[in-house]
Amino acid sequence: MCNEKMEWTLNLLRTIDRIPKKYFDHMTGTDGLFEVRVEVGNNIFRIFAFFDKGNLIVFIIVR
């Protein structure tokens, strides 16, 4: 379930221009760092991202 939800959320980043703030938001106090949020049950996974020359770069950590 977690992988499916994560893939669904990351697919939003690939397919729509205006991503809802619930899933993608600028991190306060940073210069260009964004957070992708994935909620699965009671857990919230945070994935960090930034823009480089207009391209969105997403950090995914697999454990």
In a domain, 63, yes or no: no
CA pair distance 38, 36, nearest whole angstrom: 7
Q: Structural domain of residue 31, as residue ranges? A: 2-58
Instruction: Write out the chain's pLDDT in tens, 63 residues.
Output: 678 888 898 898 889 988 888 888 999 999 999 998 888 888 888 889 999 998 888 887 655
pTM over 0.95: no
Distance CA 51, CA 54 (A): 6
Q: Where are the alpha helices (DSSP H) in 1-63?
A: 2-15
The answer to whether position 22 is within a domain reads yes
Domain count, the chain: 1
- 21 lies in some domain: yes
Residue 34: CB atoms within 10 Å? 19
Kindly tell me the burial class for residue 41, based on how many C-beta atoms sit within 10 Å of its own C-beta (0-12, 13-18, 19 or more).
exposed
